[in-house]
Amino acid sequence: MEEKEMKTGIHFVNPAPAPMEVEPTEAPIMGSWDSLPPELQEIILGKVDTSKDFFNIRLVHPKWRDFVDSYLEQQCLSVWTTWNPFADRFSSPRSLLHFIPVMTPVPVWVGTPSNDLRLIAEWNHRSLPLVENPKLGSPFPGSSIHITAECKYPGAWHPYLAPNTMTMAKDLCLNYGHYFTSIILSEFNNGLELLCDILVNLTNLKALTVNNVMLASSSTDDLPTLPPLPNLTHLKIFSLTSGVSQLLLNAYSGQLVSLETSIFIRRCVQPFNNLKELKLQANIKPNLSFPQLGPNPFPVLQNFSVIHSSQTFEWKELIEQVDSLPRTLVNFHLDVKVKKEVEEEEMEMDGFVKNPNYYEQEVVVPNNFTEVTTLSLFFPQNRREAVKIGTMILPKFPNITELNLVRFQYDYVESLEEVDGIWAHRYDTDSKTVVRRVEAAGQFLRVCPKLKKIKVHLRGDNSGYYVFYKDDFGEGVE
């Protein structure tokens, strides 16, 4: 069939033969804002990123306001719902935390020197006259709030806990608690009672962070019962007295979808039947072990992250712990230290293995985590560790497509001091060579044939990394 020369022109073939009559309907007018589906509205408004503009949009039209409010709620919730295995607990994206207003008590003097002069606290937000008429609706567009009980008392060495702070926090939640779907509570020293009083009003809560709540005494005999929070699915708890942590976990373990904590979970009344994401991190406590709560405490766990910057595992111990994890894992992030093993042979120089059978004793039978696609491990400190990763860990994860190698920055100095000449300059200009050597030693691409990229994280967070694609590793390195 011979076509005429037709470039790629657009040819308007025929005038409209019989256009369908468009009858007027209730449907939004074509080309109006309302005609855009919500996901497109979200794309557009998502490009508007300054808070000023965002709040401006709320004033344009009730529909726009409602849209922004629900968008803001999702944004706030994403602090809890976004799986971020790397980030430090305090490094939630600023742009998100920006939308969560912080309530802080501010000390004010009342009375006169001659008559009952004393310090009391007021909320930092003066624009809370709405408290006087709570029926007007939520004063919090984002449905999220951060309440801290710590008084910022200028010049004071210790934080000041004004006597009325407790009542203020209680009243705030009594009036508005049901509007919040996410909340951060921090610095309630001696505040377990208060915690209960606050939680009881948060009937619609989906996500909760509790930070720095200490028990007055170590007695765990007369602990109060926490109120039911039927919608709570995301929990982050840090720096709590262990009694408080245990109380929270016992109360909500069965309903949680994600949990982030700095303690290690020893025992729980109920298993975590719905838990999909678990992130454990600690930097002070030694002896962190993976949670061991009976045969299958996490039947549906998909994402698991362990970050412990100061504890050192033995290889054997580490492998045993890994083997005890559920087979449902999809993303596994292991950022711990292993006991360093230095071989004399390697100390000598660049450490090509002279005897290829040298490491064979280390080979273990694979214990397959077939669902795992993303695996993160510590950056090997030397060739021997790279080999161990390639023989003892990677065979358990045959289907990974992405391997992250994580390195905290302070290890940089250490590595300069301790390792042999070849590895010492790994952070210098030619990081590619170093990663190639690691790969060559561990045979990562051979062990995991689906592996597409290796990312080297420099600071243990998501902000700085190099990516190496499969093609970057040519045949026969050096």
Partner 1 sequence: MALVRVISSDGAAFLVSQRLAKRSGKLKTEIETFRKSSDNSEAQPEIRIVTIRAEILRLVLQWLQQHQNDPVLPANQNEQDGRGDAEMGQSQWDRDFLAPMDLGIVMELILAANHLEVKGLLDITCKLVESKITGRTVDEIRTAFKLKSDFKGNEEEQTRLENRWCVEN
| CA–CA separation, 302 and 304 (whole Å) | 7
| CA–CA separation, 65 and 55 (whole Å) | 8
The answer to whether the beta carbons of residues 298 and 80 sit under 8 Å apart is no
According to CB under 8 A, which one of 24, 31, 155, 230 is a site residue for partner 1?
31
Span from 124-132, 359-367, 402-410, 440-448 in contact with partner 1 (CB under 8 A): 124-132
Span from 51-59, 88-96, 164-172, 348-356 in contact with partner 1 (CB under 8 A): 51-59
The CB-of-48 to partner 1 minimum distance in angstroms stands at 5
According to CB under 8 A, which one of 96, 106, 120, 128 is a site residue for partner 1?
128
Query: What phi and psi, each to the nearest 5 degrees, are found at residue 217?
Result: -110, 165
According to CB under 8 A, which one of 67, 77, 84, 142 is a site residue for partner 1?
142
27 binds partner 1 (CB under 8 A): no
Give the CA distances from residue 211 to residues 22, 433, 452, in Å, rounded to whole numbers and listed in that order.
59, 43, 39
82 to 111, contacts with partner 1 by CB under 8 A? 99, 101-102
Span from 8-16, 84-92, 168-176, 243-251 in contact with partner 1 (CB under 8 A): 8-16
According to CB under 8 A, which one of 24, 47, 116, 222 is a site residue for partner 1?
47
Which amino acid is located at 425 in the chain?
H
DSSP state of 151: B
According to CB under 8 A, which one of 14, 25, 115, 361 is a site residue for partner 1?
14
Using alpha carbons only, what angle is made at residue 49 by residues 46 and 50, rounded to the nearest 5 degrees?
155
190 to 219, contacts with partner 1 by CB under 8 A? none
Task: Pick the closer one to partner 1 by CB: 137 or 449.
Answer: 137
437 to 466, contacts with partner 1 by CB under 8 A? 462
Burial 435-448 (b: 16+ CB within 10 A, else e): bbbbbbbbebbebb
- Which are the contacts of 22, defined by CB distance < 8 A and separation ≥ 6? none
Give the CA distances from residue 242 to residues 235, 247, 252, 253, 256, in Å, rounded to whole numbers and listed in that order.
15, 8, 15, 15, 19
The CB-of-130 to partner 1 minimum distance in angstroms stands at 6
According to CB under 8 A, which one of 57, 174, 223, 293 is a site residue for partner 1?
57
Q: Which residues bind partner 1 (CB under 8 A)?
A: 1, 3, 6, 8-20, 30-33, 35-37, 40, 43-45, 47-48, 50-53, 55-65, 99, 101-102, 125, 127-130, 136-142, 462, 467
